[in-house]
């Protein structure tokens, strides 16, 4: 019986190609597309703890917070309008990633990135100058549109550009930018919150224009991927580009396989409907479950609400923001570890190790908070060592996420879909991710208020389920060329029943040498 998650027999293909300076620079620039997403994640939580911001836009929350000072700490921030502010963006991102699917497929990955940058810029501008709640919400919807486009196109771009042996590391550049964006936003919040006159929040929100400009300019100078060029009929240019990217002349085999994948892709008129075919069942399952599980790790409870959470467990406003900076640094550092390890140790190892680590930390944090806050949420005086222990375990949890589900939640979907469904399936990935980011953001404060410390156990339960899922159902994808990925399903103990030999004549998705009318170009 094929192994649970091992690599199958493979096609034995080893395309020549180096980690050229050209591909490195290209991928670094493209990965910066993650900055806009990260900046936003990091900025919104901090801004919503800034008193002048709350007083101006969400007065009732501020009043309640003031009045509640010594009462139930679990419920002080529970407000639907406030969470709507944070989470409106994710609904917009969900919708736009669906539109982005067509743009990415028909017009190329670059153009989607450009739209992403421009929309995000417009949103940041409106937010920086906001005078009323509706301006905040409109701004956030535009930011969301931007993120939908960027998250749909950037991971695909990176996975297509990278030589397959370095695909993991280069793709995780996207997640690294997300974490750097979060950290920069946390640090800025920390300083802007101190500005006398209380308008620092305008700088925090308006500052999003900077990462928006980076991706906008980046998308103008980046080349399109050969896969996408072939898909759009620019065959000769694509071959020249592939030689340049790989730094070798001998790209014939890889090029033939790309062209074959593209021919298959052209036969498909309705990529969405196509996704429902039986042979794409593994892909569809992953496109839905990977982002779902990523969000059900509970990471965004920490990312959005770290300052709120830390002030809930008794930190003063300033040290609450500071603790968010600490978790931000851990997040970046641990992402670098995954860049180092992903193409060496593989995706499954990171997923499983990270899962165990998160599970332990969630149990400890639940126990700590439960012990002190009990169920009435009134802790009395908290000793300093206690706060340190909670922050420490939250940091170890963040590290676990940052070298597993964080980067892999974007990497794995971007590398497992065959070209003909790649763009549509990636949209599903982004949409599901945004839907559950929205859900967690929207219900977290209410859940904290009702489930109390049990909230951490709720997420721990899902971490357990997702780790079991990975163990049994997620095949290893390291070191397999992207257009050859079909083999991993074919040699999988469970998924092999959905994909038949006919679907992947050479073990991969290509049909060139399998004889479906594809000419060597
Ligand atoms: C997730 C975000 C999360 C971030 C934290 C990303 O991979 O999609 O929801 O906030 O990681 O670093």
- The residue count for the chain: 521
pLDDT class of 61 with cuts at 50, 70, 90: confident
Residue 72: what pLDDT? 59
pLDDT in tens, 371-388: 776 666 665 666 777 778
C-beta 186 within 6 A of ligand 1: no
Give the closest residue to 36 by CA, choosing from 155, 139, 115, 150: 150
pLDDT in tens, 153-188: 999 999 889 988 899 999 999 999 999 999 999 899
pLDDT class of 38 with cuts at 50, 70, 90: very high
pLDDT in tens, 319-345: 777 777 889 999 999 999 999 999 999
Residue 11: what pLDDT? 52
C-alpha dist (Å) from residue 273 to 252, 270, 282, 284, 421: 33, 5, 15, 11, 10
Instruction: Report the mean per-residue pLDDT for the chain.
Output: 85
Quick check: is 492 in a domain?
A: yes
Quick check: is 443 in a domain?
A: yes
Q: Are 18 and 246 in contact (CB under 8 A)?
A: yes
At residue 151's C-alpha, the angle toward residues 77 and 165, to 5°, is: 125
Once rounded to an integer, what is the mean pLDDT over residues 355-371? 91
Here the CATH number for the domain that contains residue 214 is: 1.20.1250.20
Containing structural domain, residue 208: 21-224+268-498
C-beta 303 within 6 A of ligand 1: yes
pLDDT class of 8 with cuts at 50, 70, 90: very low
Give the residue, 240 or 264, on which the prediction is more confident: 240
pLDDT in tens, 92-116: 999 998 888 888 888 888 999 999 9
Once rounded to an integer, what is the mean pLDDT over residues 343-364? 97
Once rounded to an integer, what is the mean pLDDT over residues 217-245? 90
Q: What would the DSSP string read from start to end of 333-354?
A: HHHHHHHHHHHHH-HHHHHHHH
Least reliable range by pLDDT among 4-8, 324-328, 390-394, 470-474: 4-8
Quick check: is 177 in a domain?
A: yes
C-beta 409 within 6 A of ligand 1: yes
C-beta 178 within 6 A of ligand 1: yes
Question: CB atoms < 10 A from the CB of 381, how many?
Answer: 5
Give the residue, 267 or 514, on which the prediction is more confident: 267
C-beta 406 within 6 A of ligand 1: yes
Spacing, Cα 301 to ligand 1 middle (Å): 11
- The two most distant CA atoms of the chain are separated, in Å, by 75
295 CA: nearest ligand 1 atom: 9
Quick check: is 519 in a domain?
A: no
Quick check: is 370 in a domain?
A: yes
What are the phi and psi torsion angles at 435 (to 5°)?
A: -60, -45
Residue 3: what pLDDT? 52
C-beta 41 within 6 A of ligand 1: yes
The whole-model pTM stands at: 0.87
Quick check: is 8 in a domain?
A: no
Residue 348 has pLDDT above 50, yes or no: yes
Contacts of residue 59, defined as CB under 8 A and 6 or more positions apart, other chains included, come to none
C-beta 331 within 6 A of ligand 1: yes
Least reliable range by pLDDT among 178-187, 365-374, 407-416, 434-443: 365-374
C-beta 171 within 6 A of ligand 1: no
pLDDT class of 466 with cuts at 50, 70, 90: very high
Give the closest residue to 147 by CA, choosing from 37, 43, 295: 37
Quick check: is 105 in a domain?
A: yes
At residue 19's C-alpha, the angle toward residues 16 and 23, to 5°, is: 110
Spacing, Cα 141 to ligand 1 middle (Å): 19
179 CA: nearest ligand 1 atom: 12
218: Cα within 13 Å, side-chain hemisphere: 27
Give how many domains the chain has, as a whole number.
1
Spacing, Cα 410 to ligand 1 middle (Å): 9
Spacing, Cα 371 to ligand 1 middle (Å): 29
- Report the alpha-carbon distance of residue 233 to residue 236 in Å, rounded: 9
Residue 455 has pLDDT above 70, yes or no: yes
Q: What would the DSSP string read from start to end of 290-336?
A: HHHHHHHT-HHHHHHHHHHHHHHTT--HHHHHHHHHHHHHHHHHHHH
pLDDT in tens, 200-225: 999 999 999 999 999 999 999 999 99
Residue 518: what pLDDT? 30
Residue 5 has pLDDT above 60, yes or no: no
Q: What would the DSSP string read from start to end of 411-442?
A: HHHHHHS-HHHHHHHHHHHHHHHHHHHHHHHH
Quick check: is 5 in a domain?
A: no
């Amino acid at each position: 019986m094929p192994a649970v998650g091992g690599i199958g027999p493979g096609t034995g293909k080893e395309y020549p190609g180096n980690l050229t300076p050209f591909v490195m620079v290209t991928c670094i620039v493209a990965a910066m597309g993650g900055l806009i997403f990260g900046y936003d994640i990091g900025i919104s939580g901090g801004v919503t703890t800034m008193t002048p911001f709350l007083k101006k836009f969400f007065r009732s929350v501020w009043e309640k917070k003031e009045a509640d000072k010594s009462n139930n700490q679990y419920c002080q921030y529970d407000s639907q309008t406030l969470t709507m502010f944070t989470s409106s963006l994710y609904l917009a991102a969900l919708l736009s990633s669906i539109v982005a699917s067509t743009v990415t497929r028909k017009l190329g990955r670059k153009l989607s990135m450009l739209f992403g940058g421009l929309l995000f810029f417009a949103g940041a501008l409106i937010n920086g100058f906001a005078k009323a709640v509706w301006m905040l919400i409109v701004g956030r919807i535009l930011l969301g549109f931007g993120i939908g486009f960027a998250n749909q196109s950037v991971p695909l771009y990176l996975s297509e550009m990278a030589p397959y042996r370095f695909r993991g590391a280069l793709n995780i550049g996207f997640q690294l930018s997300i974490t750097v964006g979060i950290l920069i936003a946390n640090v800025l919040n920390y300083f802007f919150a101190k500005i006398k006159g209380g308008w620092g929040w305008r700088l925090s929100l308006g500052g999003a224009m900077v990462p928006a400009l980076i991706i906008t300019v980046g998308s103008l100078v980046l080349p399109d991927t050969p896969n996408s060029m072939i898909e759009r009929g620019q065959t000769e240019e694509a071959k020249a580009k592939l030689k340049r990217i790989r730094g070798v002349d001998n790209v014939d085999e890889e090029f033939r396989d790309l062209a074959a994948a593209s021919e298959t892709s052209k036969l498909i008129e309705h990529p969405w409907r196509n996704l429902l075919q039986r042979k794409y069942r593994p892909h569809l399952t992953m496109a839905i479950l990977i982002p779902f599980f990523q969000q059900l790790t509970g990471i965004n409870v920490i990312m959005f609400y770290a300052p709120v959470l830390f002030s809930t467990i008794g930190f003063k406003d300033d040290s609450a923001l500071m603790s968010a900076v600490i978790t931000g640094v851990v997040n970046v550092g641990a992402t670098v570890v995954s860049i180092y390890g992903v193409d060496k140790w593989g995706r499954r190892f990171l997923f499983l190790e990270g899962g165990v680590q998160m599970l332990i930390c969630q149990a400890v944090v639940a126990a700590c908070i439960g012990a002190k806050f009990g169920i009435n949420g009134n802790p009395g005086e908290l000793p300093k060592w206690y706060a340190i222990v909670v922050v420490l375990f939250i940091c170890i949890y963040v590290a676990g996420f940052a070298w597993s589900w964080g980067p892999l939640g974007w990497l794995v979907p971007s590398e497992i879909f065959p070209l003909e469904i790649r763009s549509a399936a990636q949209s599903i990935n982004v949409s599901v991710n945004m839907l559950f980011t929205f859900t967690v953001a929207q219900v977290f404060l209410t859940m904290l208020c009702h489930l109390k410390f049990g909230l951490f156990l709720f997420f721990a339960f899902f971490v357990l389920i997702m780790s079991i899922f990975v163990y049994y159902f997620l095949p290893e994808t390291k070191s397999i060329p992207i257009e050859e990925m079909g083999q991993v399903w074919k040699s999988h103990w469970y998924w092999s029943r959905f994909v038949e030999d006919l679907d992947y004549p050479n073990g991969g998705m290509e049909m060139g040498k399998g004889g479906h009318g594809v000419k060597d170009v």
